[in-house]
């Protein structure tokens, strides 16, 4: 059970100068919705472990950007930043990119293979089927944490002196060879990204924050209704939109030369969560099924290209080592060249365990203003991408025993054709909201295309 309710924050995806955004990489749910003219926006649902700034001191080797696809069994896993120095890998602790890792023969100590960690700390080697040693090369700014504390899945396996594991032989995939690092020196301040062409960016807080925050949209009430007692945060809205929204905090920009100056400190986000707690209504956002076990069936889905508009393209590529989909985005310049999408607070690439495409009617309020109906009793098609597979499923907001008994709503849940819950992968979920006329189609083997079809939206006729 959660201690505090969610805070829902409207974060910009356009103009491209808003990127990289601060916060989406920490949200359990992100809803990407169409806002008109081919543009989208992110509704970020924050609860539990809130965003924070993480040191991004890499390991001295190149941060690997190539996704590894082992042909068979593999050995490896992750190098992580042991922030609390307890020797155990916590779910909220970040990886360390650019750490050199070598695979040695267990007898001759010959170097069999070399690689480096990606921005989230993951690495892997093909399993050679013999006795080996893994050597983690200690970066200058770090020390190794204490090894062999806790369970094998979350401990550090690197010797504190030489960074080597014990000699071992794996007869199958072995995905628990990790190394924990502790910063041995005070990290320099994380460079603040340039988000406008007019320096200095005086409006960026010295403390961790989320944003840039942008205007309210009617669909925000629909999403907020699924998270009872949640706090909705946005940056102003047109009068006919704002009067319909249930805002608890409006954040205004402070620099007229840029649309990116509305930012929310994480300390304030935490206060808003506490202020919206109803002691008579425990926070319960359950109702979905999460399991490491992959549902039966499905089709290969190594890559998902998402096309909203020529100036708004993104993609997800499945990483079998981290068991997540990594996000890529364009520069909104029409060239369609994609690069890693990162979070400004951590510098790491966005990685989500589940990517779901939800088809739903977009009700037109006026030009460039739509509302997606997620009220009680709604349902439509959806596509779940998890563990490198695609599943055609349904989303629904039908009431079940909990809702009927308590009168409280919970987030949309995902079911098969018989109404049985479909298991999501434990972790974070990114939801693309598209129109019913949009297409989700398999292309070449393992490649999918989500092509957004815009709703009918004529320019409003001025009143006489």
Q: pLDDT tier at 2 (50, 70, 90 boundaries)? A: confident
Q: Hey, what are 400's tokens?
A: 């079940």
Residue 188's pLDDT is 58
Residue 197's pLDDT is 42
Q: In this structure, which CATH number among 3.40.50.720, 2.40.30.10, 3.50.90.10, 3.40.50.2000 belongs to the domain 7-53+207-451? A: 3.50.90.10
CB–CB of 141/117 below 8 Å?
A: no
Q: pLDDT tier at 1 (50, 70, 90 boundaries)? A: low
Superfamily of 54-187 according to CATH:
Immunoglobulins (2.60.40.10)
Residue 360's pLDDT is 98
Mean pLDDT of 418-447: 97
Residue 196's pLDDT is 44
Residue 189's pLDDT is 52
Look over the chain and give the mean of its residue pLDDT values, rounded to a whole number: 94
- Which DSSP state fits 320? T
CB–CB of 59/98 below 8 Å?
A: yes
Among 178-187, 227-236, 417-426, the minimum mean pLDDT is found in 178-187
Q: Is the pLDDT of residue 433 over 60?
A: yes
CA 186/CA 332 separation, integer angstroms = 37
CA 4/CA 7 separation, integer angstroms = 9
Among 100-109, 139-148, 184-193, 293-302, the minimum mean pLDDT is found in 184-193
CA distances from 391 to 38, 315, 418 (A): 26, 18, 14
CA distances from 297 to 13, 302, 314 (A): 34, 15, 26
- Which DSSP state fits 88? B
CB–CB of 251/235 below 8 Å?
A: yes
Q: pLDDT tier at 441 (50, 70, 90 boundaries)? A: very high
> Which candidate, 424, 425, 432, 430, places its Cα nearest to that of 449?
432
Q: Is the pLDDT of residue 395 over 60?
A: yes
Residue 187's pLDDT is 61
- Which DSSP state fits 244? T
Q: pLDDT tier at 314 (50, 70, 90 boundaries)? A: very high
Residue 283's pLDDT is 94
Percent of the chain with pLDDT over 90: 91
Length of the chain: 464
Q: Is the pLDDT of residue 192 over 60?
A: no
Q: Is the pLDDT of residue 185 over 80?
A: no
Among 13-27, 94-108, 253-267, 317-331, the minimum mean pLDDT is found in 253-267
Domain boundaries, the chain: 7-53+207-451, 54-187
Mean pLDDT of 91-103: 97
Mean pLDDT of 46-73: 95
Q: pLDDT tier at 198 (50, 70, 90 boundaries)? A: very low
Q: Is the pLDDT of residue 195 over 90?
A: no
Residue 309: phi and psi, rounded to 5, are -165, 160
Q: Is the pLDDT of residue 193 over 60?
A: no
Among 160-169, 253-262, 345-354, the minimum mean pLDDT is found in 253-262
Q: Is the pLDDT of residue 256 over 90?
A: no
Mean pLDDT of 40-65: 96
CA 24/CA 210 separation, integer angstroms = 8
Q: Is the pLDDT of residue 380 over 80?
A: yes
Cut 0.85: pTM above it: yes
CA 442/CA 299 separation, integer angstroms = 9
Residue 365's pLDDT is 96
Mean pLDDT of 312-339: 97
């Amino acid at each position: 059970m959660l201690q505090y309710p969610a805070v829902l924050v409207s974060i910009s995806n356009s103009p491209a100068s808003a990127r990289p955004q601060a916060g989406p990489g920490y949200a359990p749910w992100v809803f990407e919705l169409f806002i008109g003219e081919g543009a989208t926006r992110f509704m970020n649902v924050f609860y539990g472990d809130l965003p924070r700034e993480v040191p991004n001191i890499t390991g001295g080797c190149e941060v690997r950007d190539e996704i590894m696809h082992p042909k068979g069994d593999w050995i490896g896993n992750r190098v992580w930043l042991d922030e609390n120095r307890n020797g155990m890998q916590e779910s909220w602790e970040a990886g360390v990119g650019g750490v050199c890792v070598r695979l040695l023969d267990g007898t001759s100590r010959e170097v069999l293979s070399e690689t480096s960690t990606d921005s989230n700390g993951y690495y892997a080697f093909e399993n050679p089927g013999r006795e080996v040693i893994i050597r983690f090369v200690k970066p200058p700014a770090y020390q190794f944490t204490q090894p062999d504390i806790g369970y094998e899945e979350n401990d550090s396996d690197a010797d504190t002196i030489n960074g080597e594991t014990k000699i071992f032989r794996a007869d199958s995939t072995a995905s628990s060879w990790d190394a924990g690092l502790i910063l041995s020196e005070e990290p320099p301040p994380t460079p603040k990204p340039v988000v406008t062409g007019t320096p200095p960016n005086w409006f960026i807080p010295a403390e961790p924050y989320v944003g840039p925050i942008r205007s309210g949209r009617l669909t925000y009430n629909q999403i907020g209704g699924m998270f009872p007692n949640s706090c909705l945060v946005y940056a102003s809205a047109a009068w006919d939109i704002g009067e319909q929204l249930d805002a608890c905090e409006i954040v205004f920009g402070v620099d007229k030369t840029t649309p990116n100056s509305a930012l929310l400190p994480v300390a304030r986000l935490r206060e808003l969560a506490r202020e919206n707690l109803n002691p008579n209504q425990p926070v319960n956002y359950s109702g979905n099924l999460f399991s490491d076990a992959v549902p039966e069936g499905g089709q290969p889905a190594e890559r998902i290209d998402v096309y909203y508009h020529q100036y708004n393209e993104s993609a997800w590529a499945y990483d079998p080592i981290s068991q997540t989909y990594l996000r890529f985005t364009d520069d909104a310049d029409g060239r369609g060249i994609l690069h890693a999408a990162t979070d400004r607070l951590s510098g790491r690439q966005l990685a989500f365990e589940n990517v779901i495409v939800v088809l739903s009617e977009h009700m037109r309020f006026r030009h460039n203003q739509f509302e997606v109906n997620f009220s009680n009793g709604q349902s439509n098609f959806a596509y779940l991408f998890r563990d490198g597979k695609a599943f055609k499923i349904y989303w629904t907001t039908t009431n079940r025993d909990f809702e009927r008994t308590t009168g409280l709503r919970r987030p949309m849940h995902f079911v098969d054709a018989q109404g049985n819950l479909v298991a999501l992968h434990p972790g974070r979920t990114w939801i693309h909201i598209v129109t019913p006329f949009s297409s989700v189609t398999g292309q070449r083997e393992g490649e999918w295309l989500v092509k957004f079809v815009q709703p009918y939206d004529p320019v409003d006729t001025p009143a006489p």
